[in-house]
Structure 1
Amino acid sequence: MKPSARVQSAIDLLDEIIVAARDGGASADAIAKKYFKARRYAGSKDRRAIREHVYAAIRRWGDRPESGRQAMLGLAAEQPDLRALFDGSDYGPAAIKEGEPVARGAQVPGWLADKFAGPIDEQEQKALFDRAPLHIRANARLVADSIVEATWSEAVPLALPHSYALPAGTQVENSAPYRDGAIEIQDLGSQAIALAAVASKPGLVLDLCAGAGGKTLALAAMLPADSKIIAADTDRGRLSRIEPRIGRSGADNIETILLSPGKEMDSLEHLKGKCDLVLIDAPCSGTGTWRRNPELRWRMTPKRLAQTTELQHRLINLGSELVKPGGRLVYAVCSLLDAEGGDQAEAFLADHRQWQEIAIDLPLGRPYRGGTLLSPYHDGTDGFYFSCLEKL
């Protein structure tokens, strides 16, 4: 493919991604995979170049452009070499017309710029678009640290037990340690939340929004074999992904429960007032994961954020009913917005006088509004807010 044809392909692909982001459709990665599957003529260099154009546009524009052409024209306005490819040639983009709409603005959506937690200043926000590191967790149950070090001499130990960084691009999922359950891919921030959650050595644990089970498996690796961990979620597809991971990990103390959205308590009634720990890794805007998923900026709107915070409020209250006296609730979001973090924790504590915040000693993170803040710039992790609460 000619360079100009690659630009037009990026525009076409961005058009699909923009519509999906607006309408809550498939992810950019899924759309790109389908796009290239239908275009076998595109060679590996073509696919790589097209992807680079697409993700450069996604990372550059915080506010969702109206079209793929607007997105690429915005880049072209900043890159003369790219602008030259808008030449009207066969299979390439049409020549630029005077006054044609062009994407503009900052990387952070304008309506979100003043909603970040206090410490997340302009420098911190800029780090949200750096390349994300590759972190893994060695399975403590399998004494896997020696396996990691023997397999990857370049593995760098991180601040938490059993945590390592590997060079970007390392083919972890094709490795024997991954297939054998000796390691899991998991961001250091996510590992920190699991470590904070097990500080009280809980016996009965509910992971209320377990998803594909990353934190569930981390909890299982840190807790004694006689503990019981229940992984629950309303998303059948995501929850089903935990089963093969459980098999690889060797954990035999995990059970799963599929919940009905809005009727979660129907399946959790038997746990009321009995859990030593309830972990709520709540659905959120994902602002803390923009390094990995920059298109999330195009999906979130003020209305969707309001709906998400309402769900978070309901989940933290639901989870609190399942905790026994002396037990703990850990509320976490991969978000750096006050509305999803500190606001939620402080509102809960204000309305529930029988609960108190518990400080957790970790080698990373900053105390912030009833909890802990983790960020790419300060900690080298994804962005998280989490709060450890104890029922009196």
Structure 2
Amino acid sequence: MTPQARVQAAIDILDEVITAARGGGAAADTIIARYFKARRYAGSKDRRAVRDHVYAAIRRAGEIPADGRAAMIGVARDRPEIAALFDGSAHGPQPIEPGELSASSGLVPQWLEARLCESVGLDGVAALLDRAPLDLRVNTLRTSRDALLDRLPEALPTPHARNGLRLPEGTNVEALDIWTEGLIEIQDEGSQLLALAVGAGAGQTVVDLCAGAGGKTLALAAEMGGQGRLIACDADRGRLSRLAPRAARAGAATMIEMRLLDGGRELEALGDLVGTADAVLIDAPCSGTGTWRRNPEARWRLTPERLAKTVALQARLIEVGAALVAPGGTLTYAVCSVLDEEGAAQVAAFLDRMDGWSVDRPSLPAGRSRGAGMMLDPAHDETDGFFVARLRRRC
């Protein structure tokens, strides 16, 4: 592919990404993979260059662009070498008209800008759209970080998580022997710290209420040393079904029990656990503002209406999780968001309406205090953005 053809390919992909963002379709990664599956002639350098163009355009446009061409012109506005490729040559984009060089729309949707600046500051907002590193969690049920550092000379310890490793961007993790052997999981360092915040120990009964595909469930299993009862729950059958093979590979299958929940009627499937859990983790559905480094087009999908529905769901799930906690046990609430209404304000509202709970702030090697909990963000901690709070049931 010529450099011009690469830019045009990015424009074509961006058209699909924008359509998907407006209609709830596939993520950008999926669209890119599908595009090149139908174009086997594109070499690895072509694919990498096109992908870089696509993500540069997505990160550049705070508001959803009119189309792929407008998104790519946003990049050309800052990079003359890209603008020069809009030359009308074969397979390339047509020249840019003066009227297309409109002013920038900022990094985030305008309705969110003030809220994000309040929680992480202006520099923090920009950092939410930086490229994320490739972090791994060492599975201590099978090995140690020191042992893997000997096997992976290109790896570095993560700055904060005691079992984290950082690999060069682009490493094919699933091609590594240590992946096949179940010695590692791909997991952002911040996500590893959330599991640490739960304080789960050997022999306990622990519930992961919103387990998804089980990334934090597996981290909890390692923290428990493979001993105890760990119940992974989710209302999404497809996501939860991915946990079983991962647990088997990690050597944690025998201690993990999976329960599929009916959204809105969760306690019907969890009745035997009411008031019995030593620790409950609620990694709640959220806006995902803290993961924009990995999914920058997600900010185009977020609307005030969707955020309001998500906040209401979080409030209900906190109460579901609270019902499971035994006296003296803990409830850990976390979101991969840096918006206060999903984090600090959500926990404050719970404490206002529910008696018998006190703040049991986790001691983490990163983050800063935010309300009753802790906030992690890329600018301050080099992790994805998270809020986490731990509460203890007094009675």
Q: TM-score range by the shorter chain?
A: over 0.9
In structure 2, C-alpha distance between the alignment counterparts of 1:122 and 1:303, rounded to whole Å: 24
What residue number does 1:45 align with? 45
Residue 278 of structure 2 corresponds to residue 276 of structure 1: yes
Residue 163 of structure 2: aligned partner: 162
Relative to structure 1, the CA distance from residue 346 to residue 308 in structure 2 (aligned partners, 3 Å threshold; closer, same or farther) is: same
Offset of residue 185 of structure 1: 1.7
The alpha-carbon deviation at position 94 of structure 1 amounts to: 2.6
Paired residues of 1:116 and 1:336 also in contact (CA < 8 A): yes
Structure 1 residues 243 and 102 mapped into 2: Cα distance closer, same or farther (>3 Å)? farther
Deviation for aligned residue 1:210: 0.4
Amino acid in structure 1 at the alignment position of 2:354? H
Consecutive unaligned residues of structure 2, counting only runs of 5 or more, are: none
Structure-to-structure mapping, 1:133-282, within 5 angstroms: 133-158=133-158, 159-198=160-199, 203-251=204-252, 252-282=254-284
Secondary structure in structure 1 of the residue aligned to 2:115 = coil
What is the TM-score of this pair, normalised by structure 2? 0.94
Whether the aligned pair in 2 keeps the contact of 1:206 and 1:279 (CA below 8 Å) is yes
Secondary structure of the 1:362 match is: coil
State whether residues 202 and 228 of structure 2, in contact with CA within 8 Å, keep that contact through their aligned partners in structure 1. no
Alpha-carbon distance between aligned partners in 1 of 2:117 and 2:218, rounded to the nearest angstrom: 29
Residue 38 of structure 1 and its aligned partner are, at CA, apart by 1.1
Distance verdict in 2 for CA 1:168–1:101, change over 3 Å: closer
The letter for the 1-side match of 2:337 is S
1:129 aligns with 2:129: yes
Give yes or no for contact 1:211–1:233 (8 Å, CA) kept in 2. yes
Alpha-carbon distance in structure 2 between the residues aligned to 1:124 and 1:180: 38
Flag the 1:100–1:141 CA change in 2: closer, same or farther, 3 A. Answer: closer
Match of 2:10 in 1: 10
Q: Is the 8 A contact 1:73 1:103 kept in 2?
A: no
Which residue number corresponds to residue 384 of structure 2? 382
- Show CA shifts across 1:127-152 (max 9, x none): 22222122222222223334312211
Which residues in structure 2 correspond to 1:271-310 (within 5 Å)? 271-310=273-312
How far off its partner does 1:177 sit?
A: 1.6
* Residue-by-residue CA offset, 1:156-194 (whole Å, 9 max, x unaligned): 333333222223233322222211111212111111111
Shift of 1:240: 1.3
Alignment map for 1:101-112 (pairs within 5 Å):
102=102, 104-112=104-112
- The DSSP-based 3-state class of the residue aligned with 2:141 is helix
Q: How do residues 57-136 of structure 1 correspond to structure 2 at under 5 angstroms? A: 57-100=57-100, 102=102, 104-116=104-116, 118-136=118-136
Residue 314 of structure 1 aligns with which residue? 316
Aligned to 1:363, the other structure's residue is in SS state coil
Q: Is the 8 A contact 1:65 1:103 kept in 2?
A: no
Question: In structure 2, what is the Cα distance between the partners aligned to 1:13 and 1:166?
Answer: 28
| 1:261 to partner: Cα distance | 2.1
| Closer/same/farther in 2, CA of residues 98 and 175 from structure 1, 3 Å limit | closer
Find the residue that maps to 2:161 and give its secondary structure: coil
Secondary structure in 2 matching 1:142? coil
Residue 98 of structure 1 and its aligned partner are, at CA, apart by 4.4
Aligned equivalents of 1:331, 1:16: Cα separation in 2: 35
Aligned length: 392
**Distance change (3 Å), C-alpha of 1:117 and 1:106:** closer
CA deviation profile, 1:77-117 (whole Å, cap 9, x unmatched): 33333223223333222333443475731112211111127
- Are the aligned partners of 2:119 and 2:338 in contact in 1 as well (CA < 8 Å)? no
Q: Does structure 1 residue 361 correspond to structure 2 residue 363?
A: yes
> Are the structure 2 counterparts of residues 91 and 386 from structure 1 closer, same or farther at C-alpha, using a change threshold of 3 Å?
same
User: 3-state DSSP class of the match of 2:105?
Assistant: coil
Q: Distance in 2 between matches of 1:117 and 1:268?
A: 39
Structure 1 length normalisation: TM-score?
0.95
Bigger drift between 279-288 and 256-265 goes to 256-265
What is the CA deviation profile of residues 333-363 of structure 1, one whole-angstrom value per residue up to 9, with x for unaligned ones? 0100111111101000111121111022222
Q: Secondary structure at the match of 1:65?
A: coil
What letter is aligned with 2:385? G
Give the Å deviation of 1:287.
1.1
Contact map agreement 1:328 1:389 (CA 8 A) in 2: yes
Deviations 1:289-343 (A, max 9, x none): 1111111111111111111111111111111111121111100001001111111
Taking only the aligned residue pairs, the percentage that are identical comes to: 54
- Three-state SS of the structure 2 residue aligned to 1:140 is coil
Change (3 A) 1:253 1:103: farther
With over 3 angstroms needed to count, the CA separation of the structure-2 counterparts of 1:113 and 1:36, relative to structure 1, is same
Select between 7-16 and 127-136 the one with higher mean Cα deviation: 127-136
- Quote how far apart the aligned CAs of 1:200 are: 6.6
Question: For the structure 1 residues 46 and 136, does the alpha-carbon distance in structure 2 shift closer, same or farther, using more than 3 Å as the test?
Answer: closer
1:155–1:164 CA contact under 8 A, matched in 2: yes
For the Cα contact (< 8 Å) 2:200–2:220, is it kept in 1?
no
